[in-house]
Structure formats: C-alpha cells, structure tokens
Structure 1
C-alpha cells in the first residue's frame, strides 16, 4: 500500500484535489495575518499586504520539493520517516524564514528584521509541520479509499465467481440427476417391452395393447417431470399406480401391493419418481422369482421433522438379490442412494436390511416439507390395498 508508484498514481488521479488543498492552505495563511493586521494594528499599508502574499507564494513553491521528498521516503519505516519529516520540515522552514526576512527588508527597508529571525522561524516551522500533517493525512485517506475500492472489487469478483460456481454446480447436479434417471428408465423399459413381446408371442393382443397404453402414459409422466422436481407424496403414489398397473399386467394376482400412508405424509414433498426403482427392485426379486408371487408394503409416516418412507417385501431377502455374472442387479438401489446423496447430502438416511421373517426392508428418511402449515397428526392414517 505504501509504495512510491502507488503514491504517484494517487497524485496523478487526484491532481485537482491536491491543488485545491494547496490553494486553501496558503491563501488562508495570507488572509489570516492580513486580517490580524487590519483589526489588531488598524493599518492596511500596501507593503505589508504585498509581503504577506509574497511569503505565501514562496511557501507554496517550497512545498513542492517537500512533497516530492515525502514521496521518496514513503517506503521507509514510520520512525525513520517521522525523523526525516521533522528534519526536512525544519530545513524548509529555515529557508522560508530567510526568504521572508530578505523580502521584508527589500520591501520595507527595515534592516533590523534579522533580530526577529528566531520568532519568525518558530512560526514557519509550525506552519510546515501542519502542512506535512495535512499532506500525509490526504495521502493516507486516498490510500485507504483505493484499498476500499479494491476490496469492493475483490468482493464483487468473489461474488461473481461464487455465482458462476453455483451455476456450474447446479448444472452438474442436474446433469447427474438426469443421468441417474436415464439409467433407471431404460432398465424398466427393457423389462416392460420384454413382457409385451411375450404377450404378443402368446397372441394375447388385448393385454399387450393395454400394457402398451399404460406404458405410454407412465413414460409421458416420467419424461415430463424434472428429476429435481419436488412432488407431493400423494401425487407420487398416483404416479406409482401407473407403473404398478403395467406390472399388474405381467404378474396378475401374483403381485400384491399394500399402501400404508399417514395423512400428514401425503402432503410431504419428495423427489419425483423416488419410489419407482425401489418397487421395481422388489418386484424383480420378491415377485418375479416366486411362483406364488409376493407382497410389497409401502409405508410413509412423519416422525418429528422427518419423513419416513419404507418399502418392504417378503422375498428371499438380501441373499436372493446378489448379482450373478452378467446381471445389472442393484441399479435402482444404487441410483436412488446417489440421488438422495446429491439432493440432501448428510440430511438423509438410506438403509437396506433384512425384513422379518423374510424379504428386504428399505428405509428412507429425508427432511419433512409440506404444503400444509398445520402440525402433522401422526395418529390419522389411511390404509388401502392396490387392486390393479
């Protein structure tokens, strides 16, 4: 901050302020003694007025090399600089005093003026000390102003970089979520198209057409919804029903789904199509692998400030979902885990464990958000069965 180059920049950019300050200081130095002579000594001799303005002009001229000297010693330490300022101010004051005495004798002819040199010098030294203090004060003010401006620029630049970083993170986050969704949809689509193909080979055209219509309705919904969109759990259940209607065509009575959703949980906000891959996982391992089919329970409740979602099946359990060579087992669970991590960070819980007496129990805890401002009443639940 205290470099000579910066000081020169300050002076060049604010030359007008410097000249105004110089004019006010030295003009005031002339006016004050003039008024003192007029009102105290009751005299207005032209020779005294001439001397006052002449000595002010001489002081102005001497202040320029003094200011240049101060810019040279600006890089020194404060103690050394203070000593040099006092010395230089004293030397310039002595020179100014000598010039004042000489010009006074020249204008008035009073030869005994040198006897008053000490008194004149004391006043001159005080004047140049004041000038030095004002000079340093002005420079420090300008340096602080420049530092403040630079700090504001840095803050603005930092905010701009933060905005760019947040935009980049948002784009990356959205791309990651879409990638996870795109990994899930083809997986489900492959199974459904395979089932439609099997119905066509069996010449069951009506069921195949019905399955295609339901598939189109579900895909239209899934493609229209943003993966970052938050939807009501009740709307999510309705969408999940579209998916289950498709699976119902494949498995008929072998698929049994039971919903246990509390009233306050219905209004909870969750990521769109969060449950579909979990249900798909249960159907694949609890229903499709059993001749008698299987049962899936979907539960939702609000506990304190968290939404608890549970998907429970009665399949073979975790031992039955270990992938065999060539399988893509775990895509739905893995993507759901990564999706929750991306959306909620450490503010979520995703747990997969064995169910009793058999099956897999998937639990999800996320922050509870609702469009309803009332306090949730956990005692009011509604249980209903999926019927296709």
Structure 2
C-alpha cells in the first residue's frame, strides 16, 4: 500500500490519492483471500483453522508489511520499462520470500515455546514457494494497478485535448457566421445609402449594433433554447426588413413545446441569410420565408423555406449559397458526432428549403 509522502510527494501524479485508496482496497481483499485460501487448504491436511488463525494472522500481517515496501518501491520506480519492472518484481520476491519463510518459522517457535522446534527443510521449502507465490502475485497485481491508472490518466488527457480541439473548432465555425453575416448586412446598408434612404440605413446600423452585441456574448459551446434562438433571428430579420420591408414576409410556425428544445446558438442564422440573399435578393417580387419546428419522435426538425425564381427551382443554388450550409453541416457534425444532419434543395416549383435534424433535448427537465 504505497502512501505518497515525503519529499517526493509533489512529483506524484494527480491521481496518486486514488492509487493509494485502490491499493488499500486491493491489499485488504488480497490478503483476506490468501488467509481464507490457506485456512481451507490447511483444513484438508488436518490443520485446525481456528488454532492456526493467530499464526496466519501474524504471518500474513508481516506479508502485508512487506508488500507495503514493495509497493512503495514499485511506485517510485513506475517510470521504468515493463521489462525492468518485471525484473524488479522477481528481485523483490527473491528478497522477501526468505524473510516470509523465516517469519513463519520464528512465529511457530514462539508459539511452541518452551518445546524445542527443529528446522524442517522440506516444510520450509514449501513455505518458501508459498511465500514467493503470494509476494510475486501481489507485485504483479500492483504493477497492473499502476498501468490501469496510467491508462486512465492518458485517456483523461486525450479526452481533454480532444475537447479543447473540438472547442476551438466549434468557436472557429461559430465565428465564421459573423463575418459572413456582416458582409451581407453591410451590403444591404450600402444599397440603402445608394438609394438615398439614409434614415433607413441609420436604423439598420443601430439594429446591427444591437444584434452584434447580443450574438458576440454567446458561448459557441453552449446550446440555448429554441425560443432564444428565434428571438435572435427576429432581431436579425428586423435589420433586413429595413431593406426589403415591401417584399419580405416571414412566417414562424413553432409550437410552444418545441420552443423549449435546445439548439446550437445561431444555427439558423446561415439558413435565414441564404433565404434572404438568394430568395428576396434574387427576385423583384414578394418573397415569403417560412420557419417551422416540429418534434419527430426523439428528433427536432427545423426547416427554413423561401420562394425562389421559378427558373432556378430545379437548378443548383446560386454561387455562395453553399458557404453557409457547409458551415451548418460542419457545426452539426462536430456538435452531435454524426447524429445531426442538414438537408437542402427544392421542395416545390419556385420553392427552396433547408432542414436541420438534431436530437430532441429540453432546456429544463420535463
């Protein structure tokens, strides 16, 4: 039972406390099992388990103390290669097994005092083999325990590295939304200025400022209720209504229950941007954008549909539409590890749609 104390304590691995506790539990189980097994075997060769119990208690107590020292040394030399550890286990066994045999002999001598006890080389040979087996068995178990904790620590570190990489990638993808969005919005402001609509452009700049203040404070690694996501998109649509107020109509069809579902922040932003840019911006007539959300078993389906020029309904999306959709697809893959998907394409003549499917999760217990 290697306790980490002394001047080297500061160099112990972070899980050393767990190793100590696991070693104590393993030691207790191990020597209790050895005690029981030896008592059962003694019974079959006419040795009374009750009469021999005090002798075994002292003997196995001494064995436990020896394994304490063995464990402490193995722990301090845990950086050795496997071959060197195996050799060290053999060496420690070779040193401690004779001591174990001597403890058994002197223990018996004390119990038989004042009767003289002669040395029996055959019995001592059996005890040497028994002691070597138990002590070597313990050293192997302890080395296995050390490897177990090393593997767990490496897995923990690998998981932390993967989580950090995932967080970085998610942030990069999430922040891609802002430059793309800014490019589209600034183009809209420039168009209003060119049209001489300075008041509308000023209102759009103010709306843009408020929207960016809200979105930049969001954590890309934390989801938010769909109701909050819809509120953000309403703020964004207010910006675009300044430019397309006479042609843009938006219909949001989301049941109350679905508004509690969790979604990645701003996951709808690229879909609505595409709907405006390639729907409203590509036509001269009125365009309707429909946003719906439905629960389908244990899945949440989010759909954004918009009118498209009839002649482009059966053709690929215009150049640039794939940037936002690709961003959404990559975010879903990272966030849900293959359990989220995006599909898009014509849904009817002159109608384009994009649908997100993700696991159904609630923002609070149902």
Same fold (TM over 0.5): yes
After superposition, the Cα gap between the structure-2 partners of 1:357 and 1:198, relative to the gap in structure 1 and judged at 3 Å, is closer
Is the Cα–Cα contact under 8 Å of residues 337 and 350 in structure 1 kept in the other structure? yes
Match of 1:361 in 2: 353
TM-score by length of 1: 0.66
- What CA distance in whole angstroms lies between the structure 2 residues aligned with 1:355 and 1:336? 19
1:279-358 residue pairs with structure 2 within 5 A?
279-316=272-309, 317=313, 319=315, 321-323=317-319, 328-358=320-350
Q: Which residue of 2 aligns with 1:28?
A: 108
Aligned equivalent of 2:263, options 234, 247, 270: 270
CA–CA separation in structure 1 for the residues paired with 2:111 and 2:174: 84
Instruction: Identify the residue that residue 221 of structure 1 maps to in structure 2.
Output: 214
Give the direction of change, closer, same or farther, for the CA distance of 1:20–1:229 in structure 2 (3 Å limit): closer
**Is contact 1:211-1:249 (8 Å) kept?**
yes
Give how far 1:353 is off.
2.6
Shift of 1:301: 1.2
Which residues of structure 2 form unaligned runs of 5+? 1-82
Q: 1:129 to 1:358 in 2, by over 3 A?
A: farther
Partner of 1:184 in structure 2? 177
Report how far residue 22 of structure 1 moved.
0.5
Counting matched residue pairs gives 280
Which residue is equivalent to 1:10? 93
Question: How many Å apart are 1:275 and its aligned residue?
Answer: 0.5
Q: Secondary structure at the match of 2:254?
A: strand
Structure 2: how far apart are the matches of 1:181 and 1:5?
Answer: 54
TM-score, length-scaled by structure 2: 0.70
- d(CA) in 1 for partners of 2:193 and 2:113? 115
Task: Pick from 153, 156, 178 the counterpart of residue 160 of structure 1.
Answer: 153
Moved more, 254-263 or 173-182: 173-182
> Tell me, what secondary structure is at the counterpart of 1:321?
coil
Greater Cα radius of gyration, structure 1 or 2 = 1
Structure 1, unmatched stretches of 5+, are: 36-48, 60-126, 375-388
SS of the residue corresponding to residue 274 of structure 1 reads: coil
CA drift at 1:5 = 5.4
